[in-house]
Structure 1
């Protein structure tokens, strides 16, 4: 006798009752779909797999609430989207995670032309952000980034204290990062934000 095929809603009801076999069926049914969806947000296959595991694990941990879900597909993709965005936001504050994303973005689904487009977009928005800095802050930033001067050298050239120079660079970096976050797509932002930190 063929095994019965359950709908997603039926599986969720069984899962809410602690049925591990139902969870395994639901897991296998959604693992691939969520992975491909999350890959459109996070290019790293490794990270996408981790996010998928997190989403599906939360379904089991919070299984008592599953019967309340009316539209399973919309719910699953919404949860996956928010978990992916949460990861990208965390990555922007963690250099190791940003490095991981950047390395994998370059290796996976990224031709030379793709990378050139990303870099060009980044450089365009970076120039825009620099242009919006106050004249003195922009000068301090450019002396640091383009001429490679130390804080002490910049302070001497512009007759400023080292503390003032440091404040200008810190605020310039903060403004530029926020500008990039507002004007670039998420993947580009979190793959490239660390470049700003390296250059200022």
Structure 2
């Protein structure tokens, strides 16, 4: 190894193209620190910079037969290191974006599922509240508040006056609200705004 340390770089490269491991080791020792520092400037991570440096020299060894035409080896090393670094950062960015999308999707799914379950629970309670009304009041309440029919339409359908329909709606609404208040839920805001106005 001693004799290799005194060889000019051109000769070391020539030996490397023929698969000389000691020549490769000498070039590695000579350029390691500068390549590591170069990678570290981009990544700000010693661990990543170390990986990139190792990959850079591995690339040199794997493509050693192509080094015969390289005139400025240090610049060639920097170019490989830069490409390795940019590829790593691009991959990390893609993976981070993919991970963000997965996390956001999972959160969206979770909140959607929660909202759906909550809505189902609300609808169940509303159904129970309506079911506890007297039969005629229940029918009138459903026709007006659920089916959206006018008081006049319901009055004509049931053969009663609009005043009677109104009386049933007022009492039915009060009864349903009282039933739902027992559960201390926000259903009053979410459902009554839409159904009981």
TM-score bin (small chain): 0.3 to 0.5
**Larger RCO, structure (CA 8 Å, separation 6 or more):** 1
